[in-house]
Amino acid sequence: MHIADGILPVEVSIAADAVAIGLVYIGGRKLETEEIPRMGIFAAALFIVSLIHFPIGAASIHLGLYGLAGLLFGMRAFPIIFVDLLFQSLIFQHGGLLSIGINTLTMGSGALTAWAIWKLPALNKQVKSFFCGLLGVLIPAVLVAIIFVLSHYGKGMGFIISIYIPAAIIEGLITVVIYNYFNKVKPEIIHGVEGGAKIGDSI
């Protein structure tokens, strides 16, 4: 789902970079000292799972865990995802430095959607955690496909979305398992987000 440099016009990429930097700033302000290592560990986890690829037909995909990032960190997910994408770009040339803003926005949208789902009061938490993981993948996939279509880049963007459907289901199930684990051994990690942290507040 990474958008490489050169696909979008430079001015669009620069505008996306500006918006992404703003969201990274909002997500990272008023950090408490104890939050920093937790965010760093999760950024490392995102980077590691991106190295594990699963073949699906003629393509391959990797887990993103953006829905889990939104569930656990809320708005803090934006700086986490930005750092993860920065290292992926520098080390493996996944995406590009100029397009890191648009990639942060597309993948961060999955985390933001998951955060919104998690704050819904009426749904069962198992159901919410599943849809956090599911939509954390599908929302970025749909946005990237739309961007490619609008940019007249490539064909068969609908097929790309279909590839990510099994990945989204897997991530949904993984998110449920991780939620259950944290809720059992360290529930304050979950309850911090459940408490309704506002944008920019510590989580």
Q: What is the mean pLDDT of residues 138-160?
A: 80
Q: What is the mean pLDDT of residues 172-180?
A: 94
Q: Tokens 């990274």 — which residue?
A: 24
Torsion of CA 100, 102, 107, 113, to 10 degrees: 140
Q: Is residue 201 part of a domain?
A: no
pLDDT at residue 84 is higher than 60: yes
**Is the model's pLDDT at 174 over the cut of 90?**
yes
102 part of a folded domain: yes
Q: How many domains does the chain fold into?
A: 1
Evaluate whether residue 203 is within a structural domain: no
Q: Is residue 79 part of a domain?
A: yes
- Is 90 a residue whose pLDDT tops 60? yes
Q: Cβ atoms within 10 A of the Cβ of 192, count?
A: 17
Report helix angle 157-185 to 187-194, nearest 10: 120
Q: Does the residue 104 lie in any domain?
A: yes
Q: Quick check: is 202 in a domain?
A: no
| pLDDT (0 to 100) of residue 197 | 41
pLDDT digits (tens, 9 = 90+) for 104-140: 999 999 999 999 999 888 788 999 999 999 999 999 9
Q: Are 28 and 20 in contact (CB under 8 A)?
A: no
Q: Is residue 162 part of a domain?
A: yes
- Using 50, 70 and 90 to split pLDDT, how confident is the model at 101? very high
- At 52-78, the pLDDT tens digits run 776 666 566 778 899 999 999 999 999
Say which CATH number the domain at 16 has: 1.10.1760.20
Cα–Cα distance, 166 to 61 (Å, whole number): 10
**Domain span including residue 121:** 10-194
Phi, psi for residue 129 in degrees, rounded to 5? -65, -35
- Within a domain: residue 200? no
Rounded to the nearest integer, the mean pLDDT of the chain is 85
**pLDDT band for position 192 (50/70/90)?**
low
